[in-house]
Amino acid sequence: MATDRAQLISTLKNVATQFRIDSIRSTSEAASGHPTTCMSMAELMSALFFAEMRFDPKHPHHPEADRFVLSKGHAAPILYAAWAEVGLFDRSELLKLREIGSDLEGHPTPRLSFVDVATGSLGQGICAAIGSALNARRIQSDYRTYVMLGDGESAEGSVWEAANIAAFDKLDNLCGITDVNGLGQSRATMWRHDMDQFARRWTAFGWNAMVIDGHDIAAILDAFDQARQTKGRPTMILARTEKGKGVSFVEGKDGWHGKAFKKGEEMDKALAELERQFVAGAPPADPATMIRKPSAAPRPPEAAKPVAPPSYRLGDQVATREAYGTALAKLGEADPRVVALDADVKNSTFSDRFEKQFPDRFYQNFIAEQVMVGAAMGLAARGAIPFPSTFACFLTRAADFIRMAAISNVNIKLAGSHAGVSIGEDGPSQMALEDLGMCRAEPNYTVLYPCDAVSAEKLMVAMAYHAGPAYMRTSRPKTPVIYQNDESFPIGGLKVLREGKDDVATVIGAGVTVFEALKAYDQLKATATTIRVIDLYSLAPIDAKSLIAAAKATGGHLITVEDHYPAGGIGDAVAEAVAGSGFTVHRLAVREIPRSGKPEELLERFGISASHIVSAVRALQKVAV
């Protein structure tokens, strides 16, 4: 047995050396990238892939396979080297690194079958790993999730949000590894090689923290063993390493971050030094015999039942945030994949309705929006349909996660409540006025904004079963139900609520401003002027055809009105949709920093109430005359 282990270690050493060589070759060929960042973690990767993780190297998506998340995404070349080494693709592909025709990008994205979520924005992979670990618990699988962090990355606050939540949730199926090479991009890291700085933090946050020599394969294997046997808390292996390990003229030296070895003399010198490190006589690394298998076969897909339809009466006063909670619980009833994530506002967003029925699929993140969205990304990547929700303004806290979720194209369903000045007295810090723009910016996000309870419930179901990232904006005030329970709300549609042949303008609202538009309609009608009123419940995709038709039918007069700042909002969305047909848009939006006050006072003061719509219509009529 001792000999077996000695042989294994020799083989793993050689794999590590091969990883270093591959990381250098590919980055030198690309003339960019981070070889020294890869070199510090070569033994860790070798042990993970050839001795620790259970997976099917030919089927990275295997649902019962252990997961690996490269939180330090700039070490992509060694991740690619590992998957080449286990046989997923030919090693020659590595030399196409960073080329436009190759999916081996500068940082990993799920264009690659073995990448669950895109990384490269630090501090996010560990959050996604939590989602992956929560999903294992949800489906009662014993797959484990491994996540590799950088030491510099540990300065990101999101890492500590993750640290708190993983410990609170007792995720002993999660194993973190921090590659403590002591060097950041521009200088030494905050704690360099002071391993106690790391150990005391992770211990204080409730993790099983271990300090090891990250180049000692025996120590690495022991650490993984110990982690697997630790119950009731996650493990963080703190691995002391040297950046650029294995090549003496860069090892532990500053100034080599994100720098490829120059092809020719420089690269050759580095490779020659590494070639000499191969242990002679070690058995070759054989993926077929060495890699541990997933502990179970893939199970059948999870089945969903139909979702209970809405049951409101016209005129009922129901906030869309409340309808959100109701629909979320109905979705939970219908589909075991549906999960909800909160940041301590469940009683305001009404996600507590889901929690009451499905406490095991409700993940409380306390006041930590980044890990909430990051965990949702990991859950989505593993087959769940996660609904993270909080006040819409606080989703900006996770803007970078929302961005990376777009790059990952994961199936997350964000919801933000308490949008706009219509929240009233709490004041500007609680008012989301940028959220539509933030989500519309991402090319693959669906963006929905219902005005009543029926449309909110219908759109929730549509959103749940529409593949890809999506965002729903809900409102704080109660609004009357204006749709029948059997009305349909396809994504990418709109509703024409008022229409006549003499309409002088089209007024386009969404959410609370739909009701301002309807009030304006009534006021104008009393003076024998009619307007077309549109509920633009789907901002992305947008029904350009119907908007253009409405513009044509109403003298080209389009007025948008939104409880949002102008940039990136409803006005901009409509303007772009109709620009090709030569129509322009008059935008009513919030144009200054708002303040506390009563909702109706604020709609008036900040220019988005019925009276402002009436004035805008009158002004257009004057121009037209």
Residue 152 as a binder of a second copy (CB under 8 A): the answer is: yes
Please state, as a whole number, how many other Cβ atoms lie within 10 Å of the Cβ of residue 544. 17
CB 554 → a second copy: shortest distance, Å?
16
Q: Which of 64, 85, 153, 322 binds a second copy (CB under 8 A)?
A: 153
The smaller minimum CB distance to a second copy, of residues 277 and 430, is found at 430
Residue 169 as a binder of a second copy (CB under 8 A): the answer is: no
Residue 25 as a binder of a second copy (CB under 8 A): the answer is: no
Q: What is each CA distance from 616 to 152, 433, 517, 611, in whole angstroms?
A: 54, 22, 11, 9
Q: How many residues bind a second copy (CB under 8 A)?
A: 110
Q: Is the dihedral of CA 67, 381, 379, 417 positive or negative?
A: positive
Report the C-alpha gap between 357 and 332 in whole angstroms. 8
Is 29 catalytic? The answer is: no
Closest CA to 482 of 509, 507, 450, 460: 450
The region of 51-59, 150-158, 480-488, 525-533 touching a second copy under the rule CB under 8 A is 150-158
104 conformational bin, left if phi > 0, alpha if psi -120 to 50, beta if neither = beta
Closest CA to 172 of 238, 225, 228, 237: 228
- Cis, peptide link before residue 541, omega less than 30° from 0: yes
Q: Which residues in the 329-388 window bind a second copy by CB under 8 A?
A: 342, 344-348, 352, 364-368, 370-371
Report the C-alpha gap between 67 and 325 in whole angstroms. 32
Please state, as a whole number, how many other Cβ atoms lie within 10 Å of the Cβ of residue 297. 9
Q: Which of 73, 131, 214, 234 binds a second copy (CB under 8 A)?
A: 73
**Rg of the chain in Å (alpha carbons):** 28
The smaller minimum CB distance to a second copy, of residues 60 and 607, is found at 607
How many CA atoms does the CB half-sphere of 279 hold within 13 Å? 15
Residue 189 as a binder of a second copy (CB under 8 A): the answer is: yes
In sequence order, the 6+-apart residues with CB closer than 8 A to the CB of 147 are 68, 69, 70, 71, 125, 126, 128, 129, 174, 175, 176, 177
Q: Which residues in the 204-223 window bind a second copy by CB under 8 A?
A: 204-205
The smaller minimum CB distance to a second copy, of residues 396 and 523, is found at 396
Report the C-alpha gap between 220 and 45 in whole angstroms. 10
The smaller minimum CB distance to a second copy, of residues 152 and 388, is found at 152
The smaller minimum CB distance to a second copy, of residues 60 and 73, is found at 73
Residue 521 as a binder of a second copy (CB under 8 A): the answer is: no
Q: Which residues in the 533-592 window bind a second copy by CB under 8 A?
A: 565-568, 571-573, 575-576, 578-580, 582-587, 590-592
Q: What is each CA distance from 338 to 334, 346, 361, 465, in whole angstroms?
A: 8, 16, 8, 10
Residue 263 as a binder of a second copy (CB under 8 A): the answer is: no
Q: Which of 170, 466, 595, 618 binds a second copy (CB under 8 A)?
A: 595
Please state whether beta strands 317-319 and 478-480 pair in parallel, antiparallel, or not at all (unpaired). antiparallel
Residue 520 as a binder of a second copy (CB under 8 A): the answer is: no
Report the C-alpha gap between 586 and 578 in whole angstroms. 12
The smaller minimum CB distance to a second copy, of residues 481 and 573, is found at 573
Please state, as a whole number, how many other Cβ atoms lie within 10 Å of the Cβ of residue 186. 10
How far does Cα 288 stand from its chain's mean position? Answer: 34
Instruction: Give the active site residue among 43, 161, 369, 434.
Output: 369
The region of 103-111, 287-295, 479-487, 522-530 touching a second copy under the rule CB under 8 A is 103-111
Q: Which residues in the 124-143 window bind a second copy by CB under 8 A?
A: none
Q: Which of 226, 444, 615, 621 binds a second copy (CB under 8 A)?
A: 444
Let me know the angle formed at the C-alpha of 443 by 440 and 448, rounded to the nearest 5 degrees.
40
Q: Which residues in the 457-516 window bind a second copy by CB under 8 A?
A: none
Q: Which residues in the 377-436 window bind a second copy by CB under 8 A?
A: 393-394, 396-397, 399-400, 403-404, 406-407, 409, 425-430, 433-434
CB 527 → a second copy: shortest distance, Å?
25
The smaller minimum CB distance to a second copy, of residues 169 and 516, is found at 169
The smaller minimum CB distance to a second copy, of residues 217 and 589, is found at 589
Taking residues 290 to 329 in sequence order and writing x for each that binds a second copy by CB under 8 A, - otherwise, the string is ----------------------------------------
Q: Which residue has tokens 């703190």?
A: 238
Instruction: Catalogue the active-site residues.
Output: 369
